[in-house]
Amino acid sequence: MRLDKYLAETAQCTRSEAKAMLSKGRVQVNGAVCKKGDTQLKESDTVAVDGKVLCYQQFVYLMLNKPEGVVSASTDKRDTTVVDLVGDAYPRRQLFPAGRLDKTSTGFVLLTDDGTFAHDILAPKRHVAKTYTVTLDTPLTDEMKAGFAAGVTLADGTALSPAEVTALTDDGLTVRVVLKQGVYHQIKRMFGVYGAGVNGLHRDAIGGLALDENLAPGQWRELSDDEVAEITRG
């Protein structure tokens, strides 16, 4: 890989900014100042800017706590998107949400530029679970529990895979739902079959990885390699 491209991807800067760093002698390759952007790097080479060693990331994986009113998209002409919340932190990355939450829903959204990984965790055959806390306008019933466990058939005839639902409060108005399938407005439509409305929906976890409780709505952070692996274990 060319040095200027490596700088752009690891230092999250534009090619012109990388060129400026090189010309000012701020870049070192294996401890020696290098000013040539077309220098071809070997896998064993160490690159530093102002003495700080850079680490190459092939892909980026971010945990975002989506607030209400933000849409799960990369771009939108009217509304703020989950990618907008990341700002200019990754100017060279084509980030997108791996799985969607409705505009009014909140919680864990995974942002990445790894299309293969996103496809794998969203594919029904991979059975990666998503866990939600749901607030209902009607108490959870035994009929709902049995229907979810057997697999709900939606009003349009779509037959869904089995899902889990358990009460979190004594009044049955706050429940936990675990899905291994993704269908448009799925949870709202599932409860709608039983005449129950959804007043609130929050995604708590994807696979075996729970949303970091220290992330306030709208905040995000990078995931470690171990955390990315946890997603596929759930």
Query: Which residues are identified as catalytic?
Result: 102
Q: In this structure, what DSSP letter does residue 62 have?
A: E
Report residue 231: phi and psi, to 5°: -60, -40
The C-alpha angle 104, 71, 60, rounded to 5 degrees, equals: 125
Q: Is the dihedral of CA 29, 9, 205, 173 positive or negative?
A: positive
Tokens of 154: 């939606």
Tokens of 108: 């864990």
Under the phi-then-psi rule, with left for phi > 0, alpha for psi from -120 to 50, and beta for the rest, what region is 172? Answer: left
Q: Parallel, antiparallel, or unpaired: how do β-strands 61-66 and 164-167 relate? A: unpaired
